């Protein structure tokens, strides 16, 4: 299993890029999973459903399964937010995990930059960024720069620059 992140400011197009990138990677024969960080409360369960009732009654974990998918909802109940390391260690084996968010994590990352967002580039302050995907030319950037529309080249970058999970989970990788 290999890991790479997509990092960028809110509104830069990380999710849009990811929804174009995943089919390209899958077409190359890779099994791909994603791990998304949410900065706010979120709920994948719906009030009125049995699983929601179980959780509201105090269950720490509720596993919902069907013939087409399963979902595990784990309530932290005041415990600390799990680290990226903790979450990656829980994932089922695939060829590639693409992490959206976790901007400060010490994993290789592709920076997603959209000029209209008006925010500074992240890579000058993050040596884990291996390339930048942008909607504008960035002639002063010394890293590889690729167009946000060049999905094939972005797929090449994420497959080559991703790190083995063992490296990411090692004490040196987690530092």
Question: CATH no. for residue 167?
Answer: 3.40.50.300
- For residues 37 and 25, give the distance between their C-alpha atoms in angstroms, rounded to a whole number: 21
Strand partners of residue 7: 111
- In a domain, residue 49? The reply is no
- In a domain, residue 132? The reply is yes
- The answer to whether the beta carbons of residues 45 and 62 sit under 8 Å apart is yes
**Quick check: 175 pLDDT over 60?**
no
The fraction of the chain above a pLDDT of 90, given in percent, is: 65
Q: Tell me phi and psi for residue 32, to 5 degrees.
A: -120, 135
- In a domain, residue 65? The reply is no
- In this prediction, residues 138-158 reach a mean pLDDT of 97
pLDDT tens per residue across span 98-112: 999 888 899 999 999
pLDDT at residue 40, as a whole number: 67
pLDDT at residue 60, as a whole number: 85
- In a domain, residue 50? The reply is no
- Average pLDDT across the chain, whole number: 91
Structure tokens of 4?
A: 């790479």
Q: Name 134's Cβ contacts closer than 8 Å, sequence gap at least 6.
A: 112, 113, 114, 115, 145, 146, 147, 148
Domain that holds residue 131: 2-40+78-174
Q: Is the pTM of this model over 0.95?
A: no
- In a domain, residue 142? The reply is yes
- In a domain, residue 58? The reply is no
- In a domain, residue 26? The reply is yes
**Quick check: 41 pLDDT over 80?**
no
- Secondary element (H or E) of residue 140: none
Q: Which residues of 130-153 are buried (b: 16+ CB within 10 A; e: fewer)?
A: bbbbbeeeeeebeeebbebeebee
Q: Name 102's Cβ contacts closer than 8 Å, sequence gap at least 6.
A: 5, 7, 35, 37, 84
- For residues 22 and 31, give the distance between their C-alpha atoms in angstroms, rounded to a whole number: 9
**Quick check: 171 pLDDT over 90?**
no
- In a domain, residue 116? The reply is yes
Q: How many domains does the chain have?
A: 1
- Determine the angle formed by the axes of helices 14-27 and 151-161, rounding to 10 degrees: 80
- In this prediction, residues 141-166 reach a mean pLDDT of 97
**Quick check: 146 pLDDT over 70?**
yes
- The answer to whether the beta carbons of residues 84 and 105 sit under 8 Å apart is yes
């Amino acid at each position: 299993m290999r890991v790479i992140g997509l990092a960028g400011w809110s509104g830069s197009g990380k999710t849009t890029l990811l929804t174009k990138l995943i089919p390209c990677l899958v077409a190359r024969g890779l099994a791909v999973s994603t791990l998304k960080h949410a900065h706010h409360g979120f709920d994948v369960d719906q009030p009125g459903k049995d699983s929601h009732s179980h959780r509201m009654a105090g269950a720490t974990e509720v596993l919902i399964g069907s013939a087409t998918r399963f979902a595990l909802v784990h309530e932290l109940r005041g415990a600390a937010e799990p680290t990226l390391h903790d979450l990656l260690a829980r994932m089922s084996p695939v060829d590639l995990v693409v992490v959206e968010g976790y901007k400060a994590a010490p994993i290789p990352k592709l920076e997603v930059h959209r000029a209209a967002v008006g925010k500074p580039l992240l890579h000058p302050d993050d040596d884990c960024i291996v390339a930048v995907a942008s909607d504008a030319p960035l002639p002063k950037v010394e890293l590889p720069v690729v167009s946000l529309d060049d999905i094939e080249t972005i797929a090449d970058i994420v497959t080559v620059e991703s790190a083995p999970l063992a490296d990411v989970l090692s004490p040196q990788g987690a530092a």
